[in-house]
Amino acid sequence: MAYNEHQADRIRQRLLRANLTEEKKMMGGLIFMVNHKMCLGIDIDKKTGLDRLMVRVGKASHEKLIFNKGSREMNFTGKVMRGFLFIDPDGFDADDDLDFWIEKALYFNREIS
């Protein structure tokens, strides 16, 4: 499992107040479960060698958020996974940017049952 522990710690600190229920090593990285639902993930992009954030934002927000800095469609298997986005480092290295993406993921997490 390849992920940057520093980036994982940044996410953990922000999720302490959000009912972080579990961390799972899967999908080649580390997934953060909030309220027992997949919320965020971190891994290292095999093509670029750079950190990569995975954010679950839901299908309704997908089209609006795809145009944000560092954002791109999530594609593991040759098929786009609508409702999930990859965020490249230029989109989450700054604390304000990471906070933005975590809030989007937590908003969707609260909306799903």
pTM here?
A: 0.93
Render 65-112 in DSSP notation, one character per residue: HTTSTTEEEEESSSSEEEEEEEE-GGGTSSHHHHHHHHHHHHHHHHH-
Per residue in 41-50, pLDDT (tens digit) is 999 998 999 9
Per residue in 51-104, pLDDT (tens digit) is 999 999 999 999 999 999 999 999 877 889 999 999 999 999 999 999 999 999
> Residue 50: helix, strand or coil by DSSP?
coil
φ and ψ of 98, to 5 deg: -60, -45
Alpha-carbon distance of 102 to 15, in angstroms, equals 8
Residue 26 has pLDDT above 90, yes or no: no
Amino acid code (one letter) for 51:
D
